[in-house]
């Protein structure tokens, strides 16, 4: 099953292998035979030869695979026998380990060398190792793999205080991690009730030095950091960028060997960037769009903060108002009708004009109903407003609107006070009679583009 996960033309993997026998300890078959009780004698011979056959098949399969991996076998030009394969495999593996051969007795092979393991941690976990003194907060050691992760040099970290390297808002959190015991950094949650208690004395002693926390670390110039390109979130503070790092490790009573530092407890940890968790930044096309969440009654309950940059209205001004109040007065009805149609499951994508602080802009509105996946109950409508880029507008909006740019008072409206919050109607928006005039305005999508 699923042998060809990566679409491999390399090897015909149709060798019969039952999943359940893979990696089963040899003793297991013996036990199974015992279980068969009285049938044992009758089937023993048959069964045993069956098992033997499968074992041999498996062995042949693995031997063949090994033969393919050993260059000496492949260059032979004919299929070597098992013994030759083994012999050549041994000499190939001796060749792999290379010059350490002189020390035959102390040689201990490992799947990966230290360097390769560091590489693996860097590539697969985007992580680097660091050591911090708990008392002073000084960085005693940092691996050079910090460079591809944060684009900082080892010198940027060594002997610096960890506080200078992390987001100021996270400093208290880190102090707790460095100085506190596990009791102060963890708590126990009961999933039944939600009640929380501090970690009890029952915690095993050796676990109490384990640490795991999230903090934001400073990054160097972002340009060379391919991993982070187009990822968010990035945090800014004091002219620096910070990214979220997950740190795991433990507190040691003394600095690790090879680090020249006064005896004091240390945090030895790996910090890693969880790139796969970081959403990809919206593509450039979405820079001109903002989302609005609309409740069943048509009121806007959430507007993303981009709305301010795009149409100059703050979301505080808009939340709690009817969605169609956002539209040009002559388009209000269109939007409202579309909304009602959307609620009865008709797809929605319309072109209307929407308000800005001073004017109106053409805008493509698309929306969908978000249903609770479990209860299939209506949750809300999510509407995306694609505002046409500024340069298009002038060639696009013609006629009286262009001649008399509307300065009708969104600014004068100000932030809705607590009193009128939530009870807005189109009346509160003071539709200017001059605006109401071109009520026959209809949008022909080809018009604008043909000019």
Residues 249-268 that bind other proteins (CB under 8 A): 249-250, 256, 258-259, 268
Stretch in the footprint of other proteins (CB under 8 A) among 41-49, 62-70, 389-397, 432-440 = 62-70
Phi-psi region of 181 (alpha: psi -120 to 50; beta: other; left: phi over 0): beta
Is the Cβ of residue 97 or residue 349 nearer to other proteins in the bound state? 97
Q: Does 209 bind other proteins (CB under 8 A)?
A: no
Task: Quote the least distance from Cβ 402 to other proteins, whole Å.
Answer: 31
Distance CA 232, CA 216 (A): 13
Distance CA 267, CA 179 (A): 10
Distance CA 278, CA 49 (A): 55
Task: Quote the least distance from Cβ 407 to other proteins, whole Å.
Answer: 25
Residues 6+ apart with CB under 8 A from 249: 210, 211, 267, 268, 269, 270
Q: Does 417 bind other proteins (CB under 8 A)?
A: no
Helix or strand or coil: residue 240? strand
Task: Report the length, in residues, of the chain.
Answer: 451
| Biggest CA-to-CA distance, the chain | 102
Stretch in the footprint of other proteins (CB under 8 A) among 30-38, 78-86, 351-359, 389-397 = 78-86
Is the Cβ of residue 20 or residue 34 nearer to other proteins in the bound state? 20
Determine if the peptide bond prior to 55 is cis (ω within 30°): no
Is the Cβ of residue 215 or residue 401 nearer to other proteins in the bound state? 215
Stretch in the footprint of other proteins (CB under 8 A) among 287-295, 390-398, 405-413, 437-445 = 287-295
Which residue in 80, 133, 141, 385 binds other proteins (CB under 8 A)?
141
Q: Does 201 bind other proteins (CB under 8 A)?
A: no
Which residue in 22, 201, 285, 415 binds other proteins (CB under 8 A)?
22
Stretch in the footprint of other proteins (CB under 8 A) among 145-153, 155-163, 352-360, 389-397 = 145-153
Which residue in 150, 178, 185, 363 binds other proteins (CB under 8 A)?
185
Q: Does 291 bind other proteins (CB under 8 A)?
A: yes
| Residue 306: closest CA among 338, 281, 279, 335 | 281
DSSP 19-80: GGGTT--THHHHHHHHHTTTHHHHHHHHHHHHHHHHHHHHHHHHHHHHHHH-HHHHTTSS--
Contact, 167 vs 154, CB < 8 A? no
Task: Quote the least distance from Cβ 63 to other proteins, whole Å.
Answer: 6
Q: Does 132 bind other proteins (CB under 8 A)?
A: no
Q: Does 116 bind other proteins (CB under 8 A)?
A: yes
Is the Cβ of residue 356 or residue 406 nearer to other proteins in the bound state? 356
Task: Quote the least distance from Cβ 70 to other proteins, whole Å.
Answer: 7
| Residue 247: closest CA among 189, 174, 181 | 174
Q: What angle do CA 41, 45, 51 make, to 5 degrees?
A: 120
Distance CA 375, CA 352 (A): 33
Stretch in the footprint of other proteins (CB under 8 A) among 312-320, 321-329, 393-401, 434-442 = 312-320
Is the Cβ of residue 60 or residue 425 nearer to other proteins in the bound state? 60
Stretch in the footprint of other proteins (CB under 8 A) among 38-46, 303-311, 337-345, 391-399 = 303-311
Q: Does 6 bind other proteins (CB under 8 A)?
A: yes
Which residue reads 């409206």 in tokens?
A: 413
Which residue in 30, 32, 59, 439 binds other proteins (CB under 8 A)?
59
Which residue in 29, 136, 148, 156 binds other proteins (CB under 8 A)?
148
Residues 335-364 that bind other proteins (CB under 8 A): none
Helix or strand or coil: residue 409? coil
Task: Quote the least distance from Cβ 221 to other proteins, whole Å.
Answer: 13
Q: Does 304 bind other proteins (CB under 8 A)?
A: yes
The two three-digit tokens of residue 443, written as one number:
């949008």
Is the Cβ of residue 239 or residue 279 nearer to other proteins in the bound state? 279
| Residue 268: closest CA among 283, 288, 247 | 247
Task: Quote the least distance from Cβ 42 to other proteins, whole Å.
Answer: 28
Q: Pattern of binders to other proteins over 231-250, x per CB under 8 A?
A: --x----------x---xxx
Q: Which of the 8 DSSP states describes residue 113?
A: -
Residues 358-397 that bind other proteins (CB under 8 A): 370, 372-375, 377, 379-380, 382
Residues 6+ apart with CB under 8 A from 242: 166, 167, 216, 217, 218, 219, 234, 235, 236
Q: Does 221 bind other proteins (CB under 8 A)?
A: no
Stretch in the footprint of other proteins (CB under 8 A) among 208-216, 346-354, 394-402, 406-414 = 208-216
Residues 431-450 that bind other proteins (CB under 8 A): none
Distance CA 185, CA 134 (A): 15
The two three-digit tokens of residue 292, written as one number:
């609005």
Intra-chain end-to-end CA distance of the chain, in Å: 60
């Amino acid at each position: 099953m699923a042998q060809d996960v990566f679409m491999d033309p390399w090897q015909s993997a149709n060798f019969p292998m039952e999943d359940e026998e893979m990696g089963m300890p040899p003793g297991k078959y013996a036990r199974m035979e015992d279980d068969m009780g009285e049938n044992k004698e009758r089937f023993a011979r048959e069964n045993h030869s069956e098992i033997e056959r499968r074992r041999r098949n498996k062995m042949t399969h693995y031997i063949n695979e090994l033969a393919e991996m050993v260059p000496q076998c492949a260059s032979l030009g004919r299929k070597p026998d098992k013994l030759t394969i083994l012999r050549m495999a041994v000499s190939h593996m001796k060749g792999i380990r290379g010059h350490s051969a002189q020390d035959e007795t102390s040689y201990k092979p490992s799947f990966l060398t230290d360097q390769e393991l560091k590489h693996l941690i860097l590539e697969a976990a985007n992580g680097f190792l660091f050591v911090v003194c708990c008392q002073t907060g000084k960085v005693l050691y940092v691996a050079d793999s910090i460079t591809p992760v944060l684009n900082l040099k080892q010198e940027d970290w060594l002997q610096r205080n960890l506080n200078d390297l992390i987001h100021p808002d996270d400093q208290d959190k880190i102090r707790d991690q460095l100085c506190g015991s596990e009791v102060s950094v963890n708590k126990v949650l009961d999933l039944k009730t939600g009640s929380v208690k501090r970690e009890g004395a029952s915690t095993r002693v050796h676990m109490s030095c384990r640490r795991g926390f999230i903090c934001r670390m400073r990054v160097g110039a972002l340009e060379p950091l391919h991993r982070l390109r187009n990822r968010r979130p990035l945090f800014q503070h004091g002219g620096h960028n910070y990214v979220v790092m997950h740190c795991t490790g433990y507190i040691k009573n003394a600095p690790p060997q090879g680090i020249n530092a006064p005896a004091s407890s240390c945090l030895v940890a790996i910090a890693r960037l969880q790139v796969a968790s970081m959403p990809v930044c919206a593509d450039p096309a979405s820079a001109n769009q903002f989302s609005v969440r609309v409740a069943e009654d048509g009121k806007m309950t959430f507007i993303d903060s981009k709305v301010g940059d795009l149409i100059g209205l703050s979301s505080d001004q808009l939340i709690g108002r009817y969605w169609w109040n956002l539209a040009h007065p002559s388009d209000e009805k269109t939007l409202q009708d579309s909304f009602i149609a959307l609620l009865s499951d008709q797809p929605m994508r319309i072109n209307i004009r929407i308000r800005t602080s001073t004017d109106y802009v053409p805008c493509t509105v698309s929306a969908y109903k978000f249903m609770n996946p479990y209860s299939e109950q209506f949750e809300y409508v999510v509407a995306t407003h694609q505002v046409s880029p500024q340069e298009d507008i002038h060639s696009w909006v013609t006629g009286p609107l262009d001649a008399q740019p509307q300065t009708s008072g969104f600014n004068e409206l100000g932030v809705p006070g607590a009193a009128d919050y939530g009870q807005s109607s189109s009346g509160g928006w003071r539709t200017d009679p001059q605006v109401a005039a071109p009520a026959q305005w209809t949008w022909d999508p080809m018009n604008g583009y043909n000019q």
